[in-house]
């Protein structure tokens, strides 16, 4: 935040902050809905708009550029993940890992249980690894191939995959957002996770039941045995189908379970997959290297197989990466010059009831995702703005950390211009506008949390002798 240590510009007034925020929302809403302008151009316009507002506060070019740079710096670790997942997807295709898993899955997975089983699998994967992106880039891509062959609508599959992926991103003790929320709120990590069970567990059960019902609706035998056989035959004609191709995925999971950081896990898995591609699939070294850069390319004559295999590579992530850079720059500007912070603090004095405070926190973090473009900044902002109010009302810090997760971690996938949504699109080929109605956990969990709050359930208050965490 701007303070006496930053005399180069003034704090925005409430009306100025409201005008700046409204301008961003108007640009995005009219641009998307009326003129159908692409995300990159709209974010660029938003960056220019906020830069002009920062200049009105007295910020010079150096300060404005520094604010954007600070946003980009916060996103550096994500950029590394972008590139590595693009390479990982290509390597898994080259090695035959994805083809083999999809091939064998047809003998194990019935169409009617595909959606709930996929949800549980993605949840387990993300809970173990702590990364929603890694889950979507590996297990999610495999499930997309299976589901599309079963003629289940792609937006529904994507929504199921993302729902499972963000469950672990929210609940795993090795997730970066889980740790960030607990740290920023001043809560114990495992106390924070236990607090989230109050709302996440019933929300997850609801989602599981809904996906089971949807699975029954879409799994009524619309795929013939001949179609499945044709799909499997097509895969076996391109790749040597073998359980040995599972090794790269096993390496990835084993290292993740041991607590190794995502980046080295993916690098190790990529190396193993590349070796298997040359040894088992008889691929030339240069062909493998080309795929890691430009993606796997093939034409089998079967549209569903081609859609599954023609993916991956560093270049496939460039659209996502460039959009993320603009989103991070916008987030850096909004955060540095306190536009959203001032706007929210102007509303705090009107909040009295704990349930209203919790609702406002969840909504504010979602709005933060829409304007800051980043769940990390939304979580940090939410804790900074609301922490004192939670303390004043005698509420536990882990209640604050729970609310910022429900509004920040979960809902970022619903914002079409966010790095998360862009990443999911690059992997799954489905836009946020299409999959958002089916990301049930992101839709259900905040609603459940708010309803339970107004019913008086799960409101965690400090005891009389409990010390307030700063």
Burial of 388 (0-12, 13-18, 19+ CB in 10 A): exposed
The per-residue pLDDT for 464 is 58
Place of tokens 């994507």: 158
Burial of 83 (0-12, 13-18, 19+ CB in 10 A): middle
Domain boundary, last residue among 278, 294, 316: 316
Q: Is the pLDDT of residue 468 over 50?
A: no
Shared-domain flag, residues 287 and 386: no
Q: Is the pLDDT of residue 231 over 90?
A: no
DSSP annotation of 411: G
Share of the chain above pLDDT 70, in %: 96
Residues 132 and 168 sit within 8 Å (Cβ to Cβ): yes
pLDDT tens digits, residue range 330-347?
A: 989 998 999 988 988 888
Report angle CA 310, 105, 431 to the nearest 5 degrees: 45
pLDDT tens digits, residue range 381-422?
A: 899 899 999 999 999 999 999 999 999 999 999 999 898 999
Residue 157 in domain: yes
Containing domain of residue 369, as a range? 14-76+318-454
Q: Is the pLDDT of residue 194 over 90?
A: yes
Shared-domain flag, residues 312 and 326: no
Token output for 228: 């499945």
pTM value?
Answer: 0.86
Instruction: Count CA within 13 A, CB hemisphere, residue 429.
Output: 14
Residues 410 and 181 sit within 8 Å (Cβ to Cβ): no
How far apart are alpha carbons 282 and 155 in whole angstroms? 35
- Tally of domains within the chain: 2
Residue 463 in domain: no
Token output for 220: 């009524």
Shared-domain flag, residues 306 and 325: no
pLDDT tens digits, residue range 74-127?
A: 778 778 888 998 899 999 999 999 999 888 888 777 788 899 999 999 998 888
Residues 277 and 96 sit within 8 Å (Cβ to Cβ): yes
Q: Phi and psi (nearest 5°) for 395?
A: -100, 145
**What average pLDDT does this structure show over 427-440?**
94
Shared-domain flag, residues 241 and 210: yes
Residue 345 in domain: yes
Shared-domain flag, residues 130 and 199: yes
Shared-domain flag, residues 121 and 52: no
Residue 470 in domain: no
Shared-domain flag, residues 322 and 312: no
Domain boundary, last residue among 267, 294, 316: 316
How far apart are alpha carbons 332 and 327 in whole angstroms? 9
Please, which pLDDT band fits residue 131 given cuts at 50, 70 and 90? confident
Residue 449 in domain: yes
Residue 191 in domain: yes
Residue 331 in domain: yes
Shared-domain flag, residues 325 and 360: yes
Query: Which residues, 6 or more positions from 296, have their beta carbon under 8 angstroms from its beta carbon?
Result: 90, 93, 94, 309, 310, 311, 312, 313
Q: How far is CA 373 from each of CA 409, 431, 439, rounded to the nearest angstrom?
A: 12, 16, 18
Shared-domain flag, residues 230 and 268: yes
Residue 134 in domain: yes
Shared-domain flag, residues 347 and 399: yes
**What average pLDDT does this structure show over 194-208?**
96
**Which DSSP string do the residues of 279-318 spell out, in sequence order?**
HTS---HHHHHHHHHH------S-HHHHHHHS--SGGGGH
Shared-domain flag, residues 240 and 311: yes
Helices 285-294 and 262-279: crossing angle in degrees, nearest 10, is: 140
Domain boundary, last residue among 272, 288, 316: 316
How far apart are alpha carbons 175 and 248 in whole angstroms? 22
CA 309 to chain CA mean position, Å: 23
The per-residue pLDDT for 372 is 82
Shared-domain flag, residues 61 and 92: no
**What average pLDDT does this structure show over 30-53?**
93
């Amino acid at each position: 935040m701007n303070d006496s240590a930053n005399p180069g510009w003034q704090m925005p007034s409430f009306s100025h902050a409201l005008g700046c925020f409204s301008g961003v929302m108007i640009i995005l809403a009219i641009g998307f809905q009326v003129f159908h302008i692409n995300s990159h151009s709209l974010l660029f316009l938003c960056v220019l708009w906020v830069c002009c507002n920062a200049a009105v506060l007295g910020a010079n070019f150096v300060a404005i550029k520094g604010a954007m740079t600070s946003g980009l710096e916060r996103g550096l670790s994500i950029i590394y993940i972008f590139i590595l997942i693009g390479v990982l997807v290509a390597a898994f295709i080259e090695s035959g890992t994805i083809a083999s898993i999809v091939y064998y899955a047809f003998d194990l997975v019935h169409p009617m249980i595909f959606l709930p089983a996929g949800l549980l699998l993605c949840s387990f994967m993300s809970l173990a690894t702590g990364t929603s992106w890694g889950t979507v880039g590996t297990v999610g891509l495999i499930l997309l191939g299976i589901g599309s062959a079963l003629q289940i609508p792609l937006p529904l599959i994507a929504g199921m995959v993302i729902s499972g992926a963000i469950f672990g991103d929210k609940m795993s003790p090795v997730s970066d957002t889980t740790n960030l929320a607990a740290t920023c709120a001043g809560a114990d990590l495992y106390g924070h996770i236990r607090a989230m069970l109050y709302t996440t567990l019933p929300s997850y059960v609801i989602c599981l039941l809904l996906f089971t019902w949807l699975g029954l609706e879409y799994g009524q035998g619309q795929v013939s045995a001949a179609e499945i056989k044709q799909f499997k035959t097509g895969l076996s004609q391109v790749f040597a189908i073998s359980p040995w191709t599972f090794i790269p995925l096993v390496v990835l999971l084993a290292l993740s379970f041991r607590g190794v950081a995502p980046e080295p896990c993916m690098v190790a898995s990529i190396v193993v997959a590349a070796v298997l591609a040359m040894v088992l699939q008889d691929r030339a070294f240069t062909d493998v290297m080309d795929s890691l850069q430009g993606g796997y390319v093939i034409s089998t004559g079967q549209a569903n197989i081609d859609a599954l295999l023609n993916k991956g590579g560093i270049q496939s992530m460039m659209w996502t990466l460039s959009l993320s850079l603009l989103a991070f720059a916008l987030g850096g500007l909004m955060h540095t010059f306190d536009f959203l912070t001032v706007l929210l603090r102007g509303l705090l004095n009107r909040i009295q009831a704990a349930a209203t405070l919790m609702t406002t926190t969840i909504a504010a973090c979602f709005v933060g995702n829409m304007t800051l473009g980043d769940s990390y900044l939304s979580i940090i902002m939410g804790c900074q703005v609301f922490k004192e109010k939670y303390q004043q009302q005698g509420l536990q810090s882990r209640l604050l950390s729970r609310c910022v997760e429900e509004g920040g971690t979960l809902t970022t996938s619903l914002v079409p211009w966010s790095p998360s949504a862009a990443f999911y699109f690059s992997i799954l080929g489905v836009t946020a506008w299409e999959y958002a109605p089916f990301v049930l956990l992101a839709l259900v969990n905040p609603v459940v949390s708010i309803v339970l709050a107004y019913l008086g359930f799960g409101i965690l208050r400090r005891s009389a002798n409990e010390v307030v965490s700063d």
